[in-house]
A and B are shown apart, each in its own frame.
Chain A
């Protein structure tokens, strides 16, 4: 078996609250992500999913346990990781293309050489002809596409996504999911997706990790045996619905608010 791209061992995170109490967000989380895999993490709101992502992104540095990238202990942000957040977080003063180029400038890469790649990525996310538009001239879905292109510009091995389509309407979300599956397969990226939509996780992933809440720990690792990329037809397949039901039952025992709108 190939060495994992990301290996997380006994990850534990405790937050101090304002009142001086301590809240355990994560308890001994273990996970491996192999190169090229699409792995989703589902769980109820507030279960610590985002904490896992922020640790992998290098945004949280004080935790117990170990995180390694290609066998190297990871401390802090890595050039080999691209992040897409729940909000697009574009710089409103930069055009779509200049936003995609942001990592190039921050990392000090060759701007001239990378500009064609920025255009290619914008075309790949379906924004050809929108290079010069400002974020406030784009729809929410378009802005999130720009954010995806931005996360890919420096060709990171791992793409981290934190509820990237959570703020979009259901129709746009379905479209974006289909495209994300296509983009991930085409660019052969390893993707780690945080979501509370079970359907989204099952639709996109090779593996779905189910997380419990307070403290967050991974209770199940479910393999989805359907070839990727997938199209929306698979939603009607028995494997899809049985897996969704299975994950839902797992989460049901946890927290009633975990019931995501399966209808989406």
Chain B
């Protein structure tokens, strides 16, 4: 554990020290690269005033809600498409066209439809994160091992049983590769939505800080976003560990 964690930790400490030294004696412009100590100060200030927790909470809640919707819809529609050729034929052209479109371009429209509150950010996050889950679900359900299907069919299993007992669990490793992307995308959707128009959230904070040329504040918010991204990533990794214990190359050794 320590052997693995040590090199990146030492690297970060050295980097911060060099950065701090550069700010103190190297003439780094605080408007462009504020010193780490200043960024830390902003973090402390933001948290103690209660401003950061509030906005952090908004962005986190939007991202989580968008994530849950994206995963539920992605797996649900992916399952429908894999079960019914008719649904697949009907939806396929739309899905391909929609997938090819940069979803971020929808942000202004979504704000018009769903307002400046959290709803529009949740929708945007869900729309962006939905496709990787959908695509990986369809791939996973299609990749089903024919030998396992033979076992079920020889027992006269119903389609529902085959889906529940073989196809869906077998598709989980694929689905998780989509979920890993989705968890990054929901944060992206949240922030873009906040940039386009919002009352609260880390994205709005970044805009304010930037307009006022409070670069240290911008950096401190970016640090929070990075931490939030990591938190979500590890959340998904923990879920993966729970559900996909059987797919790990060796049991008991975490994937990271």
Q: Determine whether the beta carbon of A89 is less than 8 Å from that of B155.
A: no
Query: Nearest chain B CB to A8's CB is how many angstroms away?
Result: 17
Q: Which 7 A-B pairs have the closest CB atoms?
A: A89-B147, A77-B156, A93-B246, A106-B155, A83-B154, A106-B157, A57-B154
How distant is the Cα of A83 from the Cα of B148 in the complex, in angstroms? 12
Query: Are A103 and B155 also in contact (CB < 8 A) when A92-B247, A93-B246, A136-B246 are?
Result: yes
Closest to A54 in B: B150
How distant is the Cα of A222 from the Cα of B151 in the complex, in angstroms? 31
Q: Tally chain A residues at the interface, Cβ within 8 Å.
A: 25
Closest to A87 in B: B147
- B24 sits at the interface (CB 8 A): no
How distant is the Cα of A212 from the Cα of B245 in the complex, in angstroms? 46
Interface residues of A in 81-101 (CB under 8 A from B): 81, 83, 85, 87, 89, 91-93
- B153 sits at the interface (CB 8 A): yes
Query: Are A89 and B148 also in contact (CB < 8 A) when A77-B155, A83-B154, A134-B251 are?
Result: yes
How distant is the Cα of A59 from the Cα of B169 in the complex, in angstroms? 23
- B166 sits at the interface (CB 8 A): yes
Interface residues of B in 142-187 (CB under 8 A from A): 145, 147-148, 150-157, 161, 165-166, 169-170, 172
- A107 sits at the interface (CB 8 A): yes
Closest to B169 in A: A93
Query: Are A91 and B156 also in contact (CB < 8 A) when A102-B165, A105-B165 are?
Result: no
- Counting contact residues on chain B (CB < 8 A from A), the size range is 20 to 34
Query: Nearest chain B CB to A163's CB is how many angstroms away?
Result: 13
Residues in B with CB closer than 8 Å to A89 are 145, 147-148, 150-151
- A140 sits at the interface (CB 8 A): no
Q: 1/0 per position for B57-101, CB-CB distance to A under 8 A?
A: 000000000000000000000000000000000000000000000
Q: Determine whether the beta carbon of B246 is less than 8 Å from that of A107.
A: no
Residues in B with CB closer than 8 Å to A57 are 150, 154
Residues in A with CB closer than 8 Å to B166 are 91
Query: Nearest chain A CB to B23's CB is how many angstroms away?
Result: 52
- A58 sits at the interface (CB 8 A): yes
Q: Determine whether the beta carbon of B246 is less than 8 Å from that of A58.
A: no
Contacts beyond the supplied A76-B156, A89-B150, A93-B246: 10 A-B pairs with Cβ under 8 Å: A58-B154, A59-B150, A59-B154, A79-B155, A83-B151, A91-B166, A93-B172, A105-B165, A106-B157, A134-B251
- CB within 8 A of A77: which of B148, B153, B169, B246? B153
Residues in A with CB closer than 8 Å to B251 are 134, 136-137
Interface residues of B in 122-155 (CB under 8 A from A): 145, 147-148, 150-155
Residues in B with CB closer than 8 Å to A87 are 147
Closest to A86 in B: B147
Residues in B with CB closer than 8 Å to A85 are 147, 150-151
Closest to B153 in A: A59
Residues in A with CB closer than 8 Å to B165 are 91, 102, 105-106
How distant is the Cα of A105 from the Cα of B165 in the complex, in angstroms? 10
Closest to A79 in B: B156
Closest to B151 in A: A89
Could you list 19 A-B pairs, sorted by A, with CB under 8 Å? A58-B153, A59-B153, A59-B154, A77-B153, A81-B154, A83-B154, A85-B147, A85-B151, A89-B150, A89-B151, A91-B165, A102-B151, A102-B155, A102-B165, A106-B156, A106-B157, A106-B161, A107-B156, A150-B151
How distant is the Cα of A79 from the Cα of B157 in the complex, in angstroms? 11
How distant is the Cα of A106 from the Cα of B166 in the complex, in angstroms? 11
Query: Nearest chain B CB to A131's CB is how many angstroms away?
Result: 15
